Structure 1
Amino acid sequence: RHEKSMLFHSTPVKPESLEDLWENLSLKPANTPQVNISDSLSRRVINEVWQEQTIARLLQLVDLPLLESLLEHQEIRPQLPQPRKGTGCVITSNYLDREILKAFSDSQTDEWLSAAIDCLEYLPDHMVVDISRNLPDQPDKADTWKLLLFENIGRYYGQKKEPLLSHASEIHSGIAELLVNGKMEQSLEAVQLYLKLLDSQVREEFRRLLYFMAVAAHNSELKLQKESDNRMVVKRTFCKAIINNKTLSRGKTDLLILFLVDHQKDVLKIPGTLHKMVSNKLVALQKGQDPSKITGYTFCQKLDEREYRSNTEKTTKDELLSLLKAIDEDSKLSDKERKRLLGQFHSSNPSIFMQYFGDRVTNMCV
């Protein structure tokens, strides 16, 4: 009863809907025919189209309550270690250590070593120096040095406060659900779209780390830990550096991490569907057409303003009549409570009240 009575006093709330958020990202051309769109679109517009279409396709695959986390994403640009040269072209020893490791990597045909050394660019100087000073001088010590590399890279990423995939973390749950339900193709495309939204520098760091993880996980010649499978060791070591989502269960997090490792060669590719959507939209923008009519997707039925207002009024009226009917016919209500609720309804919606009761209204004491 209390819930029903509250309906008459509730203050209308206008939430920021999915459509409102999406509209802010829209790149529709102006309706006026005087606007000429250049045949050559700017890089900014092209980038915005890529982002818009990536989000559009992602929303077709993963159910998200709101777009806020996608639209409010602020690019994270980590400061990569840069060669530091002082005045007079003095080269620091730290810079030399990095160059020595790079030269060593270039001279190797070992995929494991190359993948590991590529990750060292993100490690602090003191760790790089320690690794550089322990370069193997004999081939039989290579495995020991590899374990040193794995230990240092693992230690650095184990202490990293911000996981690489922290952007729009609710998408993790959607992708994990696809994996749990065995929808592997959709899972892969959703991951590809999600990673496409990463800042370029974060994406590059993720690419290098994931490549190293995949190589280390699937290498049977070097045992990372005696009693454990390499794949499980890699997952435990780097899990929190990739995803540290407290709303995601441990099982789903592990499932997602292993999926990334096992599909390392594919997750950073651009889906063909997205290529087509972007191409269609760019062509439409160049021609001055409404691109939303061409890209082949829509989130709801499109209505003009007059139709929208008409539908809104009809739906509101139907719901109010349904509510009034429920109050009138509810046998559980006492006469006093029914009279009180009807009085509230009459004061706020007299025309609906008159329409429902008709000739009976003269007998209603409200």
Structure 2
Amino acid sequence: MWHIPLPFFLLGISGPFRATQLWRNIIEALQMQVEVKHHRRHLQVHKDCFTGSDAVDVVLSHLMQNIYFFASEVSRLKAARLCQALMDARVFEPVGMRLFRWEKELTFEDSGCSLYHFLDGDVLPGSARHCGEVENFTDMNKNGKKKKWCRFDDVRTISNPLALGSSDRRVERILQTINLQPSMPSGLNYAGTSMNYLSNKVVQEVWKQQTLLQLLQLVELPMLDCFLNTPTKPESLRMLPNHDSLVISNTCVDREESRVFSLPELDSWLMAAADCLELFPDQLIVATEEQLLQDNATEGEEKLVAQKRVLFDTIAKYYGCQERVPLLAGRYRDSHSGILKLLECGKGEDALRASQLCLRLLDARSRDELRRLLAFMAEAADTKTFRLHKQTENRALVARMFLKAVLQSKDVTRAQCEQLLLFLMDNHLHLFKTPVSLINAVRKTLWTLQQGGDVDHTAVFVFCQQVSMQQYKEQQEKTSLDSLKQLIEHITLSSDLSNRRRRKLLKEFQKHHPAVFLQHVSSIL
């Protein structure tokens, strides 16, 4: 009914509305909607760039609202892979260096710490980017270093698909690699097609609404007002306030020349630690590096273990600060109790899905930080690398060290908090995935709004049924009559009332409801 699975060049569509036009629309949506601003990372200010998570949000929103992808299954992972294709096509490139890296990452990362900037300001007519802001693409091999292979190597040179003769087929190969199959809705007037895309504010509200609706199917949330506005963390409650503007003299190190934070080979433990350190204040990173440089006596495996101990102590001390606000603040305690009840009933899948929905209500930074921390906790809890303490198991020590940084609740015991934290840690690989049912519900709602329809009539979950005014009045009269009959029967038959008190109540009842009183007396006689 909805789609005809044929390639664009076989549909006989005239004009620019082809696969390359879809490609151009995606680039235009990204350039126009993503938030481009200055970002400070590790003693450096990067101008006119955007984060990887913001890019994925924009691309995912565009795919979900695009009618030509309506019949295709869309997910955040596919949106991230499409961003990878855009980066390989030199639409944008990574900015700055990551900790523990010698060179820029060629793999796109859906993260709030990964920074990117546009390369070609003239990819589309009327682009908001000016030619003066465009930076020339620099080859990563200019220093003689081997460039990493990319799965989109064969289409990496597409900066403007319209300049290539077989651009439609090239773009189609990219979309097929991502498993995105654009299709033509049947009965669509191709010549006059125009798509009305919703604003980012509306899209975010739809996500929040549908997330809450699905969360309410799993756990009980008596108060919803606290979820509507997510407050930002006060600056005064951070561990080191105003660290963004702090200038450290004589201790600053060049991240591109640092040897300690650019180890040649990294295991999963060090990778997880590096991801956590990305969010730390600059001065704390510098102090950690100086501490690692002080130990030059040991070599080999002993040195690596010593470095890991330093990194673990640094991360644990940072998150153990009493002034820090928990990543899962108190406003989520109702959902925590519901998730714990699901775990106690043996409903692990429902508990995981409720956790996924609950974490979608977090702000982007807290969500990203929690993802990194849980991944590091999972690595540190594994005893295969080394033991953190001689007398305490790694798992118990990790739970104790990071409990207050993740959640605090007065409604549940400390043991229950540790149980929930360990559950989140054990499922961290699946915890931040978006349920397919939520994506489908959001797409359906966005499509309804685009068509000007009533969202209430297309809701995924129905909690009540609308009735006419006449039906409402009939139900009201019937319910009131039944309640009055129950009341007079209670007065007549109750053994707790004295005869004097019963006669008085019956007299009052007859005065205010004579019709019900006569009906009751006639039924007795």
Q: Same fold (TM over 0.5)?
A: yes
Deviation at 1:125, TM superposition (A): 5.5
Corresponding residue for residue 196 of structure 2: 39
Residues 49-98 of structure 1, C-alpha deviation per residue, up to 9 Å, x if partnerless?
A: 00000000000011223323323543447679765487xxxx74565387
CA contact (8 A) 2:316 2:401 kept: yes
Q: Distance in 1 between matches of 2:465 and 2:351?
A: 27
Give the 5 Å matches for 1:1-366.
39-76=196-233, 84=245, 92=249, 96=253, 104-105=261-262, 107-124=264-281, 127-136=284-293, 137=296, 138-139=299-300, 140-160=302-322, 161-166=324-329, 167-346=331-510, 349=513, 352-357=516-521
Structure 2: where are the runs of 5+ without partners? 1-193
Greater displacement, 271-280 / 71-80: 71-80
CA contact (8 A) 1:77 1:201 kept: no
Q: Distance in 2 between matches of 1:63 and 1:337?
A: 43
Q: Which has the higher helix share?
A: 1
Name the % identity. 38
Deviation at 1:357, TM superposition (A): 3.9
Q: Distance in 2 between matches of 1:113 and 1:356?
A: 81
Q: Distance in 2 between matches of 1:303 and 1:184?
A: 38
Letter in 1 for 2:417: T
Query: How many aligned positions are there?
Result: 321
Q: Distance in 1 between matches of 2:511 and 2:455?
A: 47
Deviation at 1:113, TM superposition (A): 2.0
Q: Distance in 1 between matches of 2:511 and 2:327?
A: 57
Deviation at 1:331, TM superposition (A): 2.7
Structure number with higher relative contact order (C-alpha < 8 Å, ≥ 6 residues apart)? 1
Greater displacement, 59-68 / 99-108: 99-108
Deviation at 1:285, TM superposition (A): 1.2
Which SS does the other structure have where 1:297 is aligned? coil
CA contact (8 A) 1:101 1:117 kept: no
CA contact (8 A) 1:46 1:282 kept: yes
Q: Distance in 1 between matches of 2:471 and 2:256?
A: 67
Greater displacement, 309-318 / 150-159: 309-318
Letter in 2 for 1:198: L
Residues 277-325 of structure 1, C-alpha deviation per residue, up to 9 Å, x if partnerless?
A: 1111111111222233334311123323443343233223322221221
CA contact (8 A) 1:108 1:114 kept: no
CA contact (8 A) 2:374 2:428 kept: yes
Q: Distance in 1 between matches of 2:508 and 2:257?
A: 82
In the superposition, relative to structure 1, how do residues 120 and 342 fare at CA in structure 2: closer, same or farther (>3 Å)? farther
Residues 114-165 of structure 1, C-alpha deviation per residue, up to 9 Å, x if partnerless?
A: 3223323444565434312112544432212211221222122222442111
Residues 194-218 of structure 1, C-alpha deviation per residue, up to 9 Å, x if partnerless?
A: 0000011111111111111111112
TM-score (norm 2): 0.55
Which SS does the other structure have where 1:145 is aligned? helix
CA contact (8 A) 1:53 1:274 kept: yes
Q: Distance in 2 between matches of 1:115 and 1:93?
A: 29
Which SS does the other structure have where 1:135 is aligned? helix
Residues 18-60 of structure 1, C-alpha deviation per residue, up to 9 Å, x if partnerless?
A: xxxxxxxxxxxxxxxxxxx972111111110000000000000
Structure 1: where are the runs of 5+ without partners? 1-36, 362-366
Corresponding residue for residue 133 of structure 2: none
Q: Distance in 1 between matches of 2:419 and 2:521?
A: 60
